[in-house]
Structure formats: C-alpha cells, structure tokens
C-alpha cells in the first residue's frame, strides 16, 4: 500500500511538472497579439496552481486522518494494557488472600511441610505480595515499569508453586465445585 501511494505521488509530481512546463512554454512563446495561446498557457498555469493547492489540502487531510488513527490505536493499546494491569493486580490480591490462612508457622490441613519448604517462605512471599499491592494501588500505571512486571511474573510463579505445595486447591475439600476439579499430579 505504501509503495502504491509513492507511485501515485510520483505520477502527480510528474504530471504537475509536464503541465507547468507546457503552460510556461505556451505563455513564453506566444506572440503578443495571440490571445488564445496566452489564455491557454495562463489557464494551464492557473490549473496547475489550483491542482497543487487541492493536492496539498488532500494530503493534509489524509495526514491528519492517519495521525488520528495512530492516536486511536495508541489509546486502544493503552486501555488494553491498563485492563491487563488491572487483571494482574487482581491476581496479586487473590494470591495474597489465598496465603492468608498459611501466615502462621503451621499451614492448615497439612501434617508436615512440603519438601524444600521453609517456615518463613509464606510470610516472605505474602510480604512481597503486600508490597506489590501497595505499589499497584499507589500508581495505576505501574505496568509501565518493566522491573515491576518482571517481579510480578516471578512472584506469581513462586506463589503458585508454593500454593500447590501447601495443598491448594485440595485444601478446599468439599467446597471446591465440580466445574473446577482438582488436578492430580
């Protein structure tokens, strides 16, 4: 499409040059008493000027339309990223809530700690989740920060792994619905 547009612009420029030169030649070569030839040359030059003016107006309108479309695209992209940031923030809050029963040293419904589990793991992860929640609440554009996105990604992975080791979602027992079956590993 871009190459097609360039081709049309070159045709327009070439045509404008040909018409302009022809009009100038007719005006310059016309004898002083030949009004028809002078009128034709003057008409061609006037037409050329009007054509260039109309082309400039059309180009300006097209440029504004393209700029407006670019602005709309950028705004839609920004809204989508903001919505995604809201969803991620909701997941961080959910992780924080899911770890609430495990804040003490002894997780409920567990007889012993999972392998590789330390007593302070839940507390440290929950503190980090709390920090992220406060960071996300203080700055709604938090997702622009690549370091925060990487932190959220890594912490989501670690939190999900820890929740699985703690017996989630098996700890829901009968409250877990038929639509969300427990996945056995």
Of the pLDDT bands very low, low, confident and very high (cuts 50, 70, 90), residue 180 is very low
Give CA–CA dist 25/13, Å, rounded: 18
* C-alpha count within 13 angstroms, C-beta hemisphere, residue 173: 4
Least confident of 104-113, 123-132, 133-142: 104-113
Least confident of 1-5, 41-45, 74-78, 97-101: 1-5
Could you tell me which residue, 40 or 154, shows the higher pLDDT?
Answer: 154
Could you tell me which residue, 85 or 103, shows the higher pLDDT?
Answer: 85
Q: Which residues of 163-179 are buried (b: 16+ CB within 10 A; e: fewer)?
A: bebbbbeebeeeeeeee
Q: Which residues of 9-30 are buried (b: 16+ CB within 10 A; e: fewer)?
A: eeeeeeeeeebbeebeebbeeb
Give the model's pLDDT for residue 185: 39
Note the pLDDT tens digit of each residue in 44-97. Answer: 778 778 777 887 888 888 889 989 999 999 999 888 888 888 888 888 888 888
Give the model's pLDDT for residue 95: 85
The pTM assigned to this predicted structure is 0.52
Give the model's pLDDT for residue 106: 53
- Residue 117 · residue 105 · CB < 8 Å: no
Could you tell me which residue, 116 or 53, shows the higher pLDDT?
Answer: 53
In 3-state terms, what secondary structure has residue 168? coil
């Amino acid at each position: 499409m871009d190459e097609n547009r360039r081709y049309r612009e070159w045709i327009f420029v070439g045509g404008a040059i040909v018409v302009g030169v022809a009009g100038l030649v007719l005006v310059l070569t016309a004898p002083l008493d030949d009004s028809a030839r002078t009128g034709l040359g003057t008409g061609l030059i006037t037409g050329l000027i009007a054509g260039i003016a109309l082309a400039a107006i059309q180009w300006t309108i097209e440029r504004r339309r393209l700029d407006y479309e670019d602005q709309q695209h950028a705004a839609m992209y920004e809204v989508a990223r903001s919505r995604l940031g809201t969803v991620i923030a909701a997941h961080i809050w959910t992780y924080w809530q899911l770890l609430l029963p495990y804040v003490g040293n002894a997780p409920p419904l567990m007889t012993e700690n999972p392998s590789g589990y330390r007593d302070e793991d839940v507390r440290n992860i929950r503190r980090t989740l709390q920090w992220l929640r406060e960071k996300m609440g203080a700055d709604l554009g938090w997702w622009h920060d690549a370091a925060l996105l990487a932190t959220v990604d890594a912490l989501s992975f670690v939190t999900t792994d820890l929740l699985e080791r703690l017996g989630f979602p098996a700890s829901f027992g009968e409250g877990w619905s038929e639509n969300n079956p427990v996945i056995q590993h």
